[in-house]
Amino acid sequence: MRRTPTSPVRRPGRPTGTVPAMTMRLNPQAGEAIDRDDTFTFDWNGRSYPAYGGDTIASALTACGERIFSRSFKYHRPRGLLTASHLDPGCIVQVDDEPNVRGGHRHARAGSRVRSQDTWPSLRFDVKAANGLVGRFLPAGFYYKTFIHPQPLWPAYERVLQRFAHGGVLSAHTPAEAERPRYDKRFAHPDVLVAGGGPAGMAAAVAAARAGAQVLLVEEEHALGGHLRWGGSADLTALADLRDQVAVTPGIEVLTDSVVLGRYEGNWLSVLERGRPDVHERLVKARAKSLVVAAGLIERPYVFAGNDVPGVLLSTAARRLVNLYAVKPGHRAVVFTANAAGDAAAADLERVGVEVVHVEDARHGGDLVRVLGRRGVRAVEVAGGATYSCDLVVTAVGWTAPASLLTMAGDVPTYDARAARFRPDTARLPDDVLATGVVVGDGDLEHLLAHADATGREAARRAAVVAWAWRTALPHRAAEAPPGTEAATRSEAATGTSAATGTGAATGAEQAPDADPVDVPDLPVDAHPELFRAGTHGIVDFSEDVTSQDLLTAVDEGYRGVELVKRYTTATMGPTQGKLEIVNTVAIVAQALGQSIQETGTTTWRPPYAPVTLGALAGRSREPVRHSPMQLWHERHGAVPLVAGAWIRPEHYGDPAGEARTVRQRVGIIDVTPIGKLDLRGPDVAKLLELVYVNRWSKLDVGRVRYGVMCADDGVVLDDGVTARLGDDHYLMSTTSSGAAAVWEWVESWLQTEHPDWRVLVTPVTTAYASINVAGPRSRELLSRLVEGVDLGPDDFGYMHVRTARVAGVDGCVLWRIGFTGELSYEVHVPAGYGLHVWEALLDTGADLGVRPFGVEAQRVLRLEKGHSIVGQDTDGLTRAFSAGLDGLVKLDKDDFVGRPELTWQHEHGDGYRLVGLRPLDGSVVPAEGSQLVEDGQRICGRVTSSRRSPTLGYSICLAQVAAHLASPGCRVSVRLPDGHTVAAVVTEHLAHVDPEGVRLRA
Amino acid sequence: MILLPCPWCGPRGADEFGYVGESRVRPDPGSTTPAEWRAYLYHRRNTAGWTRETWYHRMGCRRYLTLERHTVSNQVRSPAGDVEDTR
């Protein structure tokens, strides 16, 4: 990506000094990934540094001669580059407000502020390095051993230790919305996903796409190519050819700077996409029909004394610096090599003018002993005692197969002593996971490309088989109802689909793809010397500062297994997560235990393969809310919002007690739109109602409304509400606001699984209507001014009746005469688009009657005065119907209803709590909801479920669940208040504290 | 994530579905005993192998579907025959 050339960014007030020169920058290299026309500066620890476009933070700083980028975790030793890639444990830095950025991977950006992490007071002089001086006092398990006693002091220890922890700094200041990094998610459905965009990955992707597959090719680096990118001219030629093929082959989508984090059930793959222009990171959830793992190999560090001194590099790091970034990693080098990569590194260094003073060849018995130097390599001692003065030591001692994705798919890597690495056992992989490239075996480029080509074609073939299996595995749509029967016709009509035109049974006869499996050639496996640790001790885990001596100590102390040693020493538990250090860890533990590496085994690779931010997992910030059509009006009129599930609704308009008095004395209106509403049609609705409600429904006449309670089959109260019969085969059911979705599913489950023969069509209409309850002694007078076509007189429109009418000019409004508040009231369901119009019309028309809006809080008070219970508040997940004050409602003589057997037995035994009205004798005390009732001063015998001060009565009132023997009117109980005091209370005669006879309701 | 074959919508990720549970037979409420009824309410076979289960396609067609799933391999297939009476 080219940037507009920028002048060096200088922010006022910050020290910049002179901009250092790129003294270690080489002349242009054939395969370099930098753009020399794009120059800019960025800030490193307060000083301005130059960089080219395409430079990583590490390459830009190295080009200016910087060698120390961090301090190590435990001993605070100076650390430089090791891998010069995303994995590099020595170059984890803070960039602006973002901590833990991989400096070996992240591109330098003009004007950004980069700092080293966790150094104090500075990178050059870090006081915590004193830990290194006392290193022999910080052995394995030091923290466990030292800080665990005495236990009360742990919080103090923790505060001190926190200062020593790695992890960067998050600004306490939350950036403005526009400046905040944005994250997103995406779903992808490729036929073949190729994890790894090196030569094998590219060849496999091309082969799969040519075979007709849609391919997603994911590469962790900033460009396709893998190790070819830092190779010689033959490699670069091959790379250009492969890139061309990827570019011209249709059906390949390439994601660079992206990494497959994990593989889950059914090839569900999470891919982290970084560095997009629009969002900081994006999580791609990909369902791949087949997966090709072409993860390449990771070069392994060597364990010897001083192996973490700045200037000790892996051969791949040296080649990347020279060939990708045109950076000279040092002046005088000693190369320790056991393979072609090390030889090539030595040749690269010589070519660009680094003096290679010595090549120590492990294939001929060579070995390293120790590096001398502290802030940088001064010299290295090799086997035999010779010491070479140098500032760069390059090691090439072997490879680790990053088999994470394969392990997540069921593979168990086995140790191949001849190749000196764990290799995946591809025979253990499921059919939809394949592997290719050097993660599987060795061979020259031709071998690898042939293997990848065959693997890609086979992946496409298997993807086609999977696609066929997905299409044909679909169950028949109407197992209980063959096509043409009444039930089948009903369900087809209900979903608007027909089996004949859908994706279901009609395709069941499709032939399986019959292409022959592709013959994938075997890859040769090259012999490689086994090199893990020299005769000296050094760092094994560079992130966690775990030495080989620590591992031996752990084994000595009885941790006789690699998983135990890992947990005790924290080896492999740092940011590199074992990718660099696992094989060395296993080898050293195996040696200490006197067993083979295969016997010792490896730790388990688990997702995520690479670090992922919580932002990427969370995705974009999105919290859907529901509003009634009147919500804006409420807000404009001072409503205090109440979050009720997904709904935002008015809790009150500033004076809940006054609102309640308005309803008792005049008339109030409340927005009850969230009440669940189900439109039920069909000849069998009455059967459905008889089944799901505990009470009786067969005799409900057209024009009538009835209250009903639903229980589950365990007898526990599930929901309640009123249902109206609008026509012979047409009902409107209401549910609690919070139960709207669950009741719909509940009703559908009984219809679809137990009674598919019943003819009932259920349509949720909760938001199709705006619902307004008009309550109070003057509600009839108010509503009669707006209603046309219906006489509201008590004889024509009695309590528990329903009418359809025109209200304020709006046709199709449904009026229920019910009374949750205990007052004469009408619930008006208005087609939602006219909700606000009718609401405002009621307020305008009723101004002279003193009409006021009231909120949920006033409604709660009013219903408590009336003794109406709320499911989920006055009942809980154990409350059966006879404990909820519903004795009169449950019709045990019905043949069946959901919960009938349990309720029959509850009725016979009379067990469980009872819901009662309760009045504290001291009417000024309102016991908190949830307060326990106690008997004999200690035994819990119930609890307060609802409590308020009644504005109508002027004293406190409650509903409570109380043990059956205390449930009779006049019984006295003690209420234990949260502050420990108790208050005496008496069980009232009725649940209702106001108007128990219902005179007001039936007015 | 498991992929489930919805007969109406095609193969979909399991996160679109609600898991209702092992398919079971509701005893006749008129003649059932507490032991039988509570076995229906609370006892599950929890088989390591093929089970018949009900799923609800909550984020899709909102149909309940019955299928057989191998609880070890998560293979899924169409159900055959009636629900086995596990009482």
* φ and ψ at residue A191, rounded to 5 degrees: -70, -45
- pLDDT confidence of residue A126: 62
Whole-prediction pTM value?
0.84
Interatomic CA distance for residues B80 and B52, integer angstroms: 9
A472 CA: distance to closest CA in chain B (Å): 9
The predicted pLDDT at position B10 comes to 87
Find chain B residues with C-beta within 8 A of A291's C-beta. none
Which pLDDT score is estimated for A493? 39
pLDDT at position A508: 46
For residue A293, what pLDDT is reported? 98
Taking contacts as CB-CB distances below 8 angstroms, the residues of chain A near B40 are 713
pLDDT less than 70: residues of chain A: 1-17, 118-122, 124-166, 474-509
Mutate to test the interface with A, among B20, B24, B64 (most CBs of A within 10 A): B64
Enumerate the residues of chain A whose CB falls inside 8 A of the CB of residue B63: 491, 495, 752
Question: Could you please report the per-residue DSSP string of A635-653?
Answer: HHTTPEEEEETTEEEEEES
Q: Calculate how close chain A gets to B6, using CA atoms only, in Å.
A: 6
- Token pair, residue A312, equals 């000790």
Task: Specify whether the CB–CB gap between A650 and A641 falls below 8 A.
Answer: yes
How far B48 CA lies from chain A's nearest CA (Å)?
17
User: What is residue A427's predicted lDDT score, i.e. its pLDDT?
Assistant: 87
For residue A9, with 0-12 CB atoms within 10 Å meaning exposed, 13-18 middle and 19 or more buried, which class applies? middle
Task: Check CB contact under 8 Å for A713 and B41.
Answer: yes
A457 contacts: CB under 8 Å, gap ≥ 6: A207, A208, A210, A211, A518
For the beta carbon of residue B37, count every other beta carbon within 10 angstroms: 20
pLDDT at A72: 86
**What's the confidence (pLDDT) of residue A484?**
41
d(CA A524, CA A982): 83
Whether the predicted interface score ipTM is above 0.90: yes
pLDDT in the model for residue B81:
61
CB A987 within 8 A of CB A969: yes
Of all residues in chain B, the one with the smallest CA distance to A499 is: B8
> Do B65 and A900 make contact, defined as CB atoms within 8 angstroms?
no
**Tokens 């995946």 -> residue:** A424
Å between A504 CA and nearest CA of chain B: 5
What residue in A sits closest to B75 (Cα-Cα)? A266
Element (H, E) at A740: helix A740-749
Q: What confidence score (pLDDT) does residue A469 get?
A: 87
Query: Are the beta carbons of A95 and A112 closer than 8 angstroms?
Result: yes
d(CA A367, CA A430): 42
pLDDT of amino acid A37 = 97
Give the residue on A whose Cα is nearest the Cα of B81: A479
* Contacts with A265 from chain B: Cβ below 8 Å: 1-2, 74
Nearest to A475 among B18, B37, B78 (CB): B78
Query: pLDDT, tens digit, for every residue of A156-184?
Result: 666 666 555 557 777 777 777 777 888 99
- Distance between the two ends of chain B, CA-based, in angstroms? 32
Q: Does B19 touch chain A (CB under 8 A)?
A: no
pLDDT score recorded for residue A7: 41
CA distance A225 to A238: 9
Locus of tokens 């993660």: A439
Cβ pair A265:B63 closer than 8 A: no
Residue A590 CB-density burial (10 A; 0-12 exposed, 13-18 middle, 19+ buried): buried
Which DSSP string corresponds to A275-322?
--SS-SEEEEEEE-SEEEE----EEPP-B-BTTTSTTEEEHHHHHIII
In this complex, the residue of A476, A491, A752 whose CB is nearest that of residue B78 is A476
Amino acid at A778: R
Chain B residue with minimal CA distance to A410? B73
What are the chain A neighbours of B26 within 8 Å (beta carbons)? 713, 754
Distance of CA A486 to the CA centre of its chain: 44
Closest CB to B62: pick one of A474, A748, A896. Answer: A748
CB contacts < 8 A, A to B, total 87
Q: Helix, strand, coil % (nearest 5) of chain A?
A: 30, 25, 45
Q: What is d(CA A167, CA A849) in angstroms, rounded to the nearest whole number?
A: 66
Measured between CB atoms, does B4 come within 8 Å of chain A? no
Q: Is B26 touching A (CB cutoff 8 A)?
A: yes
Answer whether A475 sits within 8 Å of B5, measured CB to CB.
Answer: yes
Tell which residue, A955, A931, A966, A935, has the closest CA to residue A945: A931
Which residue does chain A place closest to B60, by CA atoms? A495
Give which of B22, B62, B68 to mutate to test A binding, by max A Cβ within 10 Å. B62
- Residue A295 Cα distances to A468, A537, A681, A917, angstroms: 28, 31, 58, 69
Measured distance CA(A653)–CA(B17) in Å, rounded: 40
Q: How many CB atoms lie within 10 A of CB A924?
A: 10
Residues of A in contact with B17 (CB under 8 A): none
